[in-house]
Chains A and B, each alone.
Chain A
Amino acid sequence: MIACHEAVNRLWEYLDDTVDLDQRVLVEEHLARCRTCCGELEFAKELRRLLAHRSPDDLPEDVVGRLDRTIEELGT
């Protein structure tokens, strides 16, 4: 079985599905037997949710409005 730090270092790639099949199997074998690394996996999922979360101030209305006008004026 791979060591905890090896499993942890591959967790995001595992969630991204960018690990090859051999590595996926190794990570899954590890997770099946290691409660701490399952905690790491759940934390990684939460952290990714936090990164992907959108808030209204991602798109300030005044900025979008001014850029909309820029688009309309292109070529005129």
Chain B
Amino acid sequence: MALRVRADDSAETTPVDRDEAFRTLARAQLPRLVSIARRLVGDDAEDMVQECLLKGFQRFTQLRDIAAGPGWLTSILVNCCRDLVRATSRHPLEIDYDDLEQFSLFKHIAYEDPYPYSDSLHLDFLGEFAADDVRAVVRRLSLTYRIPLVLVYMEGFLAREVAEMLDVPLGTVLSRLHRGRKLFEKQMWEYAEEAGLLLRKDGP
């Protein structure tokens, strides 16, 4: 495949230098990009990272500061994932926000008491979730909430960095994080019920 960066070369930087600079950035960021994509779009992750790499390579001359490269590439990836989900998703989860604000997974576990013989009920509940289960719960959220949740709590970005990536105010990201983690807690319980995670503890 013949891809070339734009031809506005400065005297100091040749296209070959720039191609290699992009490859260095991409290699360093690849594990993080794959991890984010798997958490955002599951089995479509490889296609999304591939698309991100091609777009990033084509647009690399637009990046003014190489130190901003990781956030810039992540931003391209997130937009690829958003486009994919927009094209394939038809029925977003309906949410009762008043009900959601009152929900506490901690209290719900204590109330439902799924493991009556346990003296560490809450930790036992979390212990039933393998990495695959956590990813499946996260993917139940709409991308509006999934993206900030994944980037901040799974990938370690700061909320203000996510605001820059998504080009939205910081307050919007904070509000989506708040609602996103409430939705995540609620979906943890529903997933545990549906996947049979509440049935595995036997009595004495």
Q: Do A and B come from one complex?
A: yes
Interface residues of A: mostly helix, strand, loop or mixed? helix
A24 to chain B minimum Cβ distance, whole angstroms, is 15
B123 touches A46 (CB 8 A): yes
A32 to chain B minimum Cβ distance, whole angstroms, is 18
17 A-B pairs, CB-CB below 8 angstroms? A8-B104, A18-B174, A43-B105, A43-B122, A51-B134, A54-B35, A54-B131, A57-B131, A67-B49, A70-B53, A70-B54, A74-B22, A74-B53, A75-B2, A75-B5, A75-B19, A76-B2
Which residues does A use to contact B, with CB under 8 Å? 5, 8-9, 12-13, 16, 18, 39-40, 43-44, 46-48, 50-55, 57-60, 63-64, 66-68, 70-76
Q: How far, in angstroms, from A40 to B131 measured CA to CA in the complex?
A: 22
A68 touches B27 (CB 8 A): yes
Residue of A nearest to B19 (CB): A75
A48 touches B178 (CB 8 A): no
Q: How far, in angstroms, from A53 to B23 measured CA to CA in the complex?
A: 28
